Amino acid sequence: MKRLSVSILTLLLLVLFFNGCKKNTALEFQKVDHIRFMLSAQDNDSSKGYCKVDIQFLYPSKGDDEIVLKKIQQQLLVYAFDSSYIDYPVKAAIDTFIKTTFDSYSKHIIDKQVFAENSTNEEWRMNTVIIFNDNGLLSYELSRSSQIGKVYRSEYTQYLVFDLHTGNKIAQRDIFEEGVEPVISDLLKKQIMLEKGFDTEEHMINNGYFFAMNIVPNENFSVSDKGISYLFNSDEIAVYSLGQTEVFLPFSKLAPYLKKESPIAHLFAK
């Protein structure tokens, strides 16, 4: 009888322990794939100007907690478009964005009186990638680009990390100890120099990294079970022709500077 009581007590303790642990939750995603054209002329001649919107948008469609799911959906819409889209259903938000873009293009054509001899093309692209969706964390990549005519072009990629237990976007202050920014900056610079084969910081600057002072933890990061990756967009730390620079720092290097209790602590505590 005593042995049975001990077994029951052990079972109860195990139940309490596992109930207290975080779920290894993950989200399920759906994809909205829209490519739409609008011609500036009525005769279906694209040489007279057109507007193209290409959206490949992955969004969370199912999760353990509906409130968390909705919270993450809303934040993704704000980052993808702007705050006016926060309460839209995902597909309605994308349809509205496309209509607004086409309306703006039509107004531009009329205001500028652009005709065949001076056609203007506009292209808008959005692409999304799931980097990591496990262990109660979501790392999400959102890339946007636009081109107007042959002159103006803009490209930007944003990494976003969410706590799947709360729906909150995770910021650096949530995971790093206070005052460690100079140390992380130094780690980032050294990793770039190692990967690119630069002997000194001067060597790095002379090879296109003219804005080396901007190599700092910049909130544009993703998290996996291996470490943290920082992304610097074109013209942020180096000349445009060098493109984006991604720097991966493993937890083995970051561990001394990370908060022991944070939304990602269970990853580097393993």
Residue 69 lies in a domain: yes
Domain's final residue, options 107, 134, 163? 163
Q: Which two tokens stand for residue 32?
A: 């909205």
> What is the distance between the alpha carbons of residues 58 and 76, in angstroms, rounded to a whole number?
10
Instruction: Determine, yes or no, domain membership for 204.
Output: yes
pTM: 0.86
- Helix (H/G/I), strand (E/B), else coil: 179: coil
Position 47 scores a pLDDT of: 72
pLDDT value, residue 40: 78
User: What pLDDT does 110 receive?
Assistant: 64
Exposure string for 110-122, b = 16+ CB within 10 A, e = fewer: eeeebeeeebbbb
Would 264 be classed as within a structural domain? yes
Query: pLDDT tens digits for the chain (270 residues)?
Result: 444 444 554 444 444 444 444 455 689 999 999 999 998 766 667 677 889 999 999 999 999 999 999 999 999 999 999 999 999 999 999 999 999 999 998 887 766 655 444 567 899 999 999 999 999 999 999 999 999 887 778 899 999 999 999 999 999 999 999 999 999 999 999 999 999 999 999 999 999 999 999 999 999 999 999 999 999 999 999 999 999 999 999 999 999 999 999 999 999 875
Task: Report the C-alpha gap between 266 and 165 in whole angstroms.
Answer: 13
Same domain, 237 and 119: no
Domain harbouring 91, CATH code: 3.30.565.40
What per-residue confidence (pLDDT) applies to 270?
Answer: 59
Q: Is there a single domain that holds both residue 42 and residue 145?
A: yes
Do 254 and 228 meet the contact criterion of CB atoms below 8 Å apart? yes
Are 80 and 127 within one domain?
yes
H and E: helices and strands count for the chain: 8, 8
Residue 66 belongs to what domain range?
A: 28-163
CATH number of the domain residue 199 falls in: 3.90.640.20
The confidence score (pLDDT) of residue 17 equals 41
Distance CA 160, CA 16 (A): 33
Query: Distance between CA atoms of 204 and 17, rounded to whole angstroms?
Result: 51
In a domain, residue 11? The reply is: no
Q: 62 and 150: one domain? A: yes
Q: For residue 15, tell me if it sits in a domain.
A: no
- Our CA dihedral for 36, 41, 45, 50, rounded to 10 degrees, sits at -40
On whether both 240 and 148 belong to a single domain, the answer is no
> What is the per-residue pLDDT for 121?
87
